[in-house]
Amino acid sequence: MTSTYLLPLLKIVVILNAVLVSVTFMTLLERKVIAWVQVRLGPMRVGPYGTLQPIADAIKLLLKEDITPVRADKWVFTIAPIVSMVPALIAFAVIPFDREASIFGYRVPLFVADINVGLLYLVSITSIGVYGIILAGYASNSKFPLLAGLRASAQLISYEIAVTMMLVSMVVMSGTLSMVGIVDAQYNAHVWYAFVQPVAFVILFIGGLAETNRAPFDLPEAEQELTGGFHTEYSGMRFALFFLAEYANMIVVSAVATTLFLGGWLRPFPNVAWLGVLDFVPGWIWFLLKTFVFVYVFLWIRATLPRYRYDQLMRLGWKVLIPLGIANLIVTATLKVLL
């Protein structure tokens, strides 16, 4: 009983809390990183060097009036932020932070579940996430959110195809759909898949940017064009939920990219014996470090690049990424059969 129900529940609680806290502080990280890029200081007033800023933000958002527009579709308007938040959170169920860690003498696997369709589960979960945005656009009963909703759904569906192609390539490489299995396969192959599959790596990263609505693909929420896109009409905690969902999705994409391409919890050069000192650092720290690098690149890109236009985005997705993805899949499969 303890091991079948209590332990997974405990892990879920810990991971959810960790995710929510890190998401909250990612808002601060984003503001700080972009501020440094832009030769500013960023938030400095709340706490030392502004470190308590997210808490102030959270209090502000909680205390704000939760406005529902009169002509909005009230139920859908309320459900939409939840629908976009939940998939972002349950995606963490299959992400392996480490194979095992010893906590108080117990050897505990550091993932909630290692299901044999882990990767497909992730894909299907992200495909649910698009509902939040479409529904928010529809329910607000306002033109800017509607345009954003249409943009977002088209964008997410198109880039999902490219990303899924890449994931299938990775499945062909590793021969398993399990996230833990993919890391093990990289250990056995003596190499991170980022070096074997650079095309897939790049496409997954670009697709990840697009799927999380991050710059330069942040069209659905382009403030300068659509006055905030699908969350134009939202305020207070419901707005915060959209925000948190976006950041949680960033972490999910980073974590998935880490697992698939950077060897998950494996230390650099896991098969080189004389680097054994690196084993001193626990695997989950390696995992978090690699994930953090991705997150940082996300922010860095946002600070650097202008925004794509809608039709250019679609062209990039359909005419470049998807054909490249299919070609990559075919080459991977062919080589896998031949070798």
Partner 1 sequence: MSLFDTTELTLNMGPQHPSTHGVLRVVLRLDGERVVGCDVVIGYLHRGIEKLCEHRDWQQIVLLTDRMDYVAAASNNLGYVETVEKLMSLEVPRRAQYIRVILAELQRVASHCLWLGTHAMDIGAMTVFLYAFRERELVLDLFEEYCGARLTYNAMRIGGLPLDIPSGWDRKVRAFCDVLEQKIPEYEELLTHNRIWRDRTTGIGVISGADALAIGLTGPALRGSGVAHDIRKDEPYAAYAEFDFDVPIGTAGDTYDRYLVRLEEFYQSVRIIRQALDGLPEGPIVGKVPRLIKPPAGETYHAIEAPKGELGYFIVSDGKSNSPYRFRVRPPSFCNLQALPRLVQGHLVSDVVALIGSLDIVLGEVDR
Partner 2 sequence: MLEPLVFYTLAAFIIGFGVLVVTTRNTVHCVLFLVANFLCVAMVYVLLAAEFLAIIQILVYAGGIVVLYLFVVMLVNLQRPPDAVPTRGRQSRAGFALAAVMLAEISAILVFSAARPAPAAASALPATSGVGNTEVVGMLLYSDYLVPFEVASMLLLVAMVGAIILARKEA
244 binds partner 2 (CB under 8 A): no
Rg from Cα positions in the chain: 20
309 binds partner 1 (CB under 8 A): yes
For partner 1, the closer of residues 64 and 307 by Cβ is 307
In our burial notation (b when 16+ CB lie closer than 10 A, e otherwise), range 9-26 reads eebbeebeeebeebbbbb
Binding partner 1 (rule: CB under 8 A), the pick from 307, 324, 326, 333 is 307
For partner 1, the closer of residues 102 and 224 by Cβ is 224
Cα 187 to its chain centre, rounded Å, is: 24
CA 36 to each of CA 31, 45, 215: distance values in angstroms, whole numbers, following the listed order: 9, 16, 17
CA dist., res. 291 & res. 294, Å (int):
5
CA 268 to each of CA 80, 225, 255, 280, 281: distance values in angstroms, whole numbers, following the listed order: 41, 43, 16, 12, 11
* 3-class state of residue 120 by DSSP: helix
144 binds partner 1 (CB under 8 A): yes
CA dihedral 187→193→196→202, nearest 10 degrees, is -170
34 binds partner 1 (CB under 8 A): yes
66 binds partner 1 (CB under 8 A): no
Residues numbered 107 to 126 that lie near partner 2 (CB under 8 A) are 115-117, 120-121, 123-125
Partners of residue 86 on adjacent β-strands: none
CA dihedral 88→89→94→95, nearest 10 degrees, is 80
Partners of residue 106 on adjacent β-strands: 103
CA dist., res. 20 & res. 102, Å (int):
24
* Minimum separation from the CB atom of position 214 to partner 1 (A): 11
* Minimum separation from the CB atom of position 224 to partner 1 (A): 4
Residues comprising the chain, all counted: 339
* Minimum separation from the CB atom of position 35 to partner 1 (A): 9
Binding partner 1 (rule: CB under 8 A), the pick from 6, 9, 10, 37 is 37
74 binds partner 1 (CB under 8 A): no
CA dist., res. 210 & res. 305, Å (int):
14
Residues numbered 149 to 178 that lie near partner 2 (CB under 8 A) are 149-150, 153, 157, 160, 177
Residues numbered 189 to 248 that lie near partner 1 (CB under 8 A) are 215-216, 218-219, 222-227
Binding partner 1 (rule: CB under 8 A), the pick from 2, 45, 306, 339 is 306
334 binds partner 2 (CB under 8 A): no
Phi and psi at 264, nearest 5°, equal: 50, -120
Q: Which residues contact 195 (CB under 8 A, 6 or more apart)?
A: none
Residues numbered 57 to 86 that lie near partner 2 (CB under 8 A) are 73, 75-76, 79
147 binds partner 1 (CB under 8 A): yes
Binding partner 1 (rule: CB under 8 A), the pick from 46, 56, 115, 150 is 150
Binding partner 1 (rule: CB under 8 A), the pick from 308, 317, 322, 329 is 308
Q: Which of 216, 212, 200, 213 has the alpha carbon at shortest distance from 308?
A: 216
CA dist., res. 13 & res. 29, Å (int):
24
For partner 1, the closer of residues 165 and 219 by Cβ is 219
138 binds partner 2 (CB under 8 A): yes
Interface with partner 1 (CB under 8 A): 34, 37-40, 143-144, 147, 150-151, 154, 215-216, 218-219, 222-227, 302-312
Catalog residues that contact partner 2 under the rule CB under 8 A: 73, 75-76, 79, 115-117, 120-121, 123-125, 127-128, 130-131, 134-135, 138, 146, 149-150, 153, 157, 160, 177
